[in-house]
């Protein structure tokens, strides 16, 4: 009966209209993030005889594309995308078994993950969603994925695609190794390799032998969908014969590569040694008019200075002067304090910011942490239930207490030995919560379960306030800087930020700084920061920011925007690209020198035009990669010391 109705309907044209309506409803269910509706409509579509492939592509996936477009235009944010992706998967669960049954062929299979050493997975998850929306069967290996797992998963599943993400310059290199492993195994040509993440450029992708890279998840999935269509059938690509040919094909290339590759050397250690040797020979080159501490304090208050202060955010990388491992830097107060002391001494830095890693507070709240010997610790085992969050006392035995003691030691050493200020550092409430529960989960729960998230932020704000208070009570710092990472347009709207962190900070955290007569200091290395909230509403005294020129059209701001707008109330600190510090060649050093000079020459006149004289700290916008070299860091300091005093006099009189 039903079938005969459809035959009639199909021939009448009404069916086309009905189908179109169904696709619109499916798209709408996904775009509005309604999982139940998406599943219900998918069932209905099947009942009505609509081709599941069409329902997926023209309905569910279209909804996801609508949201992805909105995200790119700044009209939707990551929480919306995550909820829409949940709705899409809800519908897909219903449709997919029928796709297979109806013999629409084996769906293209993709292996996806974030590379070893890297826990950034928000972008990777979006790429996975868009590929799934395009019909790929995605095998998600998660984040911090051991390199061999990509190859093994590709083999096991006779994959058509490998999609790797890296958000850090230090982990990007892992992608090249995966490609080499594929070549070694003879399966490089059996699949397509796509790499991506903020630092990945087209040149880099080409250099490591990937097939492509794309700046966003939508273009990535469009490209991959077309690319897999051009592949030969899987049985052919994955045949023993092809694999043997593949092994031979890449043997010579790999042998050459191995022969020419530099011996693995510790560039941090080498450059530290060079700097120390030079220091022992000549000491600190120039005798300056002001002490570090006077210069920094004067700058914060816009008083007269001999030159602007300079502090590229070199934190963990300074351990190479001791030398000590990253593990010791994070767990042993002596090693931490000595790294700060020797770094400031040998590099003549104007201050030190005590950033250790971003998982200290979540660790004390019960999250499992991995602490590698030579890399930044990361939160790995999240809590399964918000209700389990219990606020510990800030006392001996907690990681944060250890950090307070380490900071106290570093402060004493810097103040007494070098006349330099020590700025302590810890995570803000929302960063603590995302590290504890997982970022995707919290961002999604903000929309689906806001009260639970608000309760958790509320509790954690108490903890964050206790920590700051302890820093002040124990006199463990000259200033305290808070990482308010999530306050930006890449992740959430200014309204959401205000609801889920801003008002807690304003009402409870900022007053504590006022009580101790301390300026509220913020670090956020994200792009498109919500500065009005972060600076105007909080009354912030120092803001350490990164600048992303490529994203200027989307609202990434530099000193020319920031000083006129916020210079009267807040000292800005940025913006030389931290990633550039990794290139220790003479060209790399030259690039840092040029960027520093350009920034200094740009900032000073803008300060002057705005009636200011010194309210800016020359810095790097984010942490200098801890596995990187130190000669580039030194280059930045030396330029400011060399040209800073004359420029200051010329401009300010
Ligand atoms: C959020 C964030 C975090 C969160 C991550 C939470 C999570 N679960 O992902 C947390 C707090 C955990 C974190 C930790 C750290 N971070 Co972080 N972090 C960021 C931040 C602010 C945003 C990243 C993000 O999610 N962007 C939004 C998503 C949607 O964009 P995306 O990832 O770029 O993805 C898009 C595209 O790139 C593309 N894409 C992504 N993958 C792929 C793959 C393929 C194949 C293709 C084609 C395309 C593609 O499509 C996506 C969607 O459109 C960036 C700054 C920035 N703006 O990038 C710093 C940043 C990445 N972090 C940085 C650093 C230094 C760290 C830490 C080392 C800090 C520390 N000292 O502890 C640790 C690293 C720990 C570790 N071992 O990994 C640096 C890295 C610098 C460097 N050396 O290269 C950055 C660049 C900040 C900076 N300016 O310096 N971080």
Pocket test for ligand 1, best of 68, 167, 619 (most atoms within 8 A of CB): 167
Closest C-alpha to 463, from 405, 413, 403, 394: 394
Stretch(es) of the chain classified as CATH 3.20.20.210: 267-427+453-485+574-652
- The pLDDT of residue 420 is 97
CA-nearest residue for atom 56, ligand 1, is 526
Is it the case that residue 1 has pLDDT exceeding 50? Answer: no
Both tokens of residue 122? 């928000």
Q: Residue holding tokens 């450029």?
A: 201
Q: How confident is the model at residue 281 (pLDDT cuts 50, 70, 90)?
A: confident
Both tokens of residue 236? 């052919």
Between residues 382 and 470, which one has the greater pLDDT? 470
Contacts of 187 by beta carbon, 8 Å cutoff, 6+ apart: 151, 154, 155, 238, 243, 246
Is it the case that residue 17 has pLDDT exceeding 50? Answer: yes
Q: Residue holding tokens 């297979």?
A: 100
CATH value of 1-103 in 3.30.360.10, 1.10.240.10, 1.10.1240.10, 1.20.1300.10: 1.10.1240.10
Q: How confident is the model at residue 262 (pLDDT cuts 50, 70, 90)?
A: low
Closest C-alpha to 547, from 576, 519, 571: 576
The mean pLDDT of 608-636, rounded to a whole number, is 95
Taking a C-beta distance cutoff of 8 angstroms, is the pair 603, 575 a contact? no
Which tens digits make up the pLDDT trace of 532-582? 999 999 999 999 999 988 888 888 999 999 999 999 999 999 999 988 898
Q: How confident is the model at residue 206 (pLDDT cuts 50, 70, 90)?
A: very high
- Ligand 1 close to Cβ of residue 481 (< 6 A): no
- The pLDDT of residue 72 is 86
- Ligand 1 close to Cβ of residue 403 (< 6 A): no
CATH number of 267-427+453-485+574-652: 3.20.20.210
What percent of the chain has pLDDT above 90?
75
**CA 321 → CA 42, 267, 354, 483, distances in Å?**
61, 12, 16, 26
Sign of the dihedral through C-alpha 620, 485, 63, 553: negative
Between residues 460 and 266, which one has the greater pLDDT? 460
- The pLDDT of residue 381 is 82
**CA 136 → CA 102, 215, 225, 257, 266, distances in Å?**
17, 19, 8, 33, 41
Most trustworthy range by pLDDT among 2-11, 118-127, 247-256: 118-127
Beta bridge partners of 311: 619
- Ligand 1 close to Cβ of residue 354 (< 6 A): no
Between residues 5 and 565, which one has the greater pLDDT? 565
Which tens digits make up the pLDDT trace of 163-195? 999 998 778 889 999 999 999 999 999 999 999
Which tens digits make up the pLDDT trace of 560-572? 999 999 999 999 9
CA-nearest residue for atom 57, ligand 1, is 526
Q: How far is the CA of 379 from the centre of ligand 1 (A)?
A: 15
Q: Which of 259-273, 468-482, 597-611 has the lowest mean pLDDT?
A: 259-273
Q: Which of 253-257, 421-425, 513-517, 567-571 has the lowest mean pLDDT?
A: 253-257
Both tokens of residue 348? 């003549």
* Number of residues that make up the chain: 653
Query: No. of H helices and E strands in the chain?
Result: 29, 14
- The pLDDT of residue 98 is 83
- The pLDDT of residue 545 is 96
Stretch(es) of the chain classified as CATH 1.10.1240.10: 1-103
Closest C-alpha to 638, from 592, 581, 587, 574: 592
Instruction: Give the torsion through C-alpha atoms of 44, 46, 50, 52, to 10 deg.
Output: 120
Give kind and range of the element (H or E) at residue 354: strand 352-354
Q: How confident is the model at residue 653 (pLDDT cuts 50, 70, 90)?
A: confident
Q: How far is the CA of 147 from the centre of ligand 1 (A)?
A: 19
Q: How far is the CA of 76 from the centre of ligand 1 (A)?
A: 19
What percent of the chain has pLDDT above 70?
96
- The pLDDT of residue 452 is 97
Rounded distance, CA 411 to CA 471, Å? Answer: 11
Closest C-alpha to 461, from 501, 409, 421, 515: 501
Rounded distance, CA 95 to CA 97, Å? Answer: 6
Q: Which of 4-13, 196-205, 541-550 has the lowest mean pLDDT?
A: 4-13
Q: How confident is the model at residue 286 (pLDDT cuts 50, 70, 90)?
A: low
- Ligand 1 close to Cβ of residue 79 (< 6 A): no
- The pLDDT of residue 102 is 41
Q: Which atom of ligand 1 is nearest to the CA of 166?
A: 41
- The pLDDT of residue 283 is 67
Burial class (CB in 10 A: 0-12, 13-18, 19+), 384: exposed
Which tens digits make up the pLDDT trace of 358-387? 999 999 999 999 898 888 888 888 898 999
Which tens digits make up the pLDDT trace of 58-91? 999 999 999 989 998 889 999 999 999 999 999 9
The mean pLDDT of 301-314, rounded to a whole number, is 97
Global confidence as pTM: 0.90
């Amino acid at each position: 009966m039903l079938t005969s109705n459809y035959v009639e309907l199909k021939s009448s044209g009404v069916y086309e209209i009905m189908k179109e309506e169904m696709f619109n409803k499916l798209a709408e269910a996904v775009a509005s993030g309604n999982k139940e509706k998406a599943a219900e409509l998918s069932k209905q579509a099947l009942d009505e005889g609509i081709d599941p492939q069409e329902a997926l592509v023209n309905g569910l996936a279209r909804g996801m594309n609508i949201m992805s477009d909105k995200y790119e235009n700044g009209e939707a944010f990551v929480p919306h995308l995550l909820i829409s992706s949940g709705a899409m998967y809800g519908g897909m669960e219903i449709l997919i078994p029928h796709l297979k049954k109806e013999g629409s062929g084996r769906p293209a299979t993709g292996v996806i993950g974030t590379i070893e050493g890297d826990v950034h997975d928000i972008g990777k998850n979006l790429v996975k969603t868009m590929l799934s929306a395009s019909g790929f069967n995605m095998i998600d290996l998660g984040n911090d994925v051991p390199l061999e797992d990509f190859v093994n998963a590709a083999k096991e599943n006779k994959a058509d695609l490998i999609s790797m993400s890296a958000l850090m310059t230090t982990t990007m290199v892992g992608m090249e190794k995966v490609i080499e492993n594929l070549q070694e195994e003879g399966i490089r040509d059996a699949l397509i390799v796509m790499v991506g993440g903020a630092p990945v450029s087209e040149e880099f992708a080409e250099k490591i032998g990937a097939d492509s890279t794309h700046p966003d998840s939508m273009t990535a999935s469009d490209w991959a969908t077309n690319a897999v269509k051009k592949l030969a059938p899987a049985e052919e690509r994955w045949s023993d014969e092809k694999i043997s040919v593949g092994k031979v094909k890449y043997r010579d290339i790999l042998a050459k590569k191995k022969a020419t590759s530099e011996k693995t050397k510790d560039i941090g250690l080498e450059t530290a040694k060079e700097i120390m040797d030079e220091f022992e020979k000549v000491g600190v080159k120039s005798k300056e008019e002001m002490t570090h501490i006077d210069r920094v304090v004067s700058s914060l208050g816009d008083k007269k200075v001999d030159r602007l202060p300079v502090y590229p955010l070199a934190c963990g990388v300074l351990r190479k002067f001791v030398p000590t491992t990253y593990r010791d830097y994070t767990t042993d107060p002596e090693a931490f304090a000595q790294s700060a002391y020797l770094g400031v001494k040998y590099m003549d830095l104007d201050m030190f910011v005590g950033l250790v890693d971003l998982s200290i507070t979540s660790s004390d709240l019960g999250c499992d942490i991995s602490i590698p010997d030579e890399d930044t610790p990361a939160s790995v085992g999240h809590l399964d239930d918000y209700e389990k969050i219990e606020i510990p006392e800030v006392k001996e035995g907690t990681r944060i207490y250890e950090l307070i003691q380490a900071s106290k030691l570093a402060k004493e050493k810097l103040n007494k030995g070098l006349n330099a200020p020590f700025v302590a550092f810890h995570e803000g409430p929302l960063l603590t919560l995302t590290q504890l529960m997982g970022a995707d989960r919290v961002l999604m729960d903000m929309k689906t379960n806001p009260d639970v998230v608000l309760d958790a932020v509320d509790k954690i704000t108490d903890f964050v306030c206790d920590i700051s208070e302890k820093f002040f009570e124990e006199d463990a710092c000259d200033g305290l800087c808070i990482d308010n990472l999530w306050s930006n347009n890449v992740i959430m709207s200014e309204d959401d930020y205000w609801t889920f962190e801003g008002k807690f900070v304003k009402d409870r955290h900022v007053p504590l700084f006022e009580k101790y007569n301390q300026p509220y200091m913020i670090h956020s290395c994200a792009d498109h920061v919500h500065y009005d909230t972060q600076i105007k509403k909080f009354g912030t005294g120092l803001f350490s920011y990164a600048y992303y020129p490529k994203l200027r059209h989307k609202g990434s701001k530099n000193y020319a925007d920031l000083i006129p707008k916020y210079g009267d109330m807040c000292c800005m600190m940025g913006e030389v690209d931290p990633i550039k510090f990794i290139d220790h060649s003479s060209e790399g050093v030259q690039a840092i020198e040029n960027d520093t000079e350009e920034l200094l020459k740009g900032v000073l006149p803008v300060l002057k035009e705005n009636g200011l004289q010194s309210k800016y700290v020359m810095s790097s916008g984010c942490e200098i990669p801890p596995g990187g070299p130190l000669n580039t860091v030194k280059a930045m300091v030396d330029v400011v010391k060399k040209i800073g005093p004359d420029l200051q006099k010329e401009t300010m009189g």
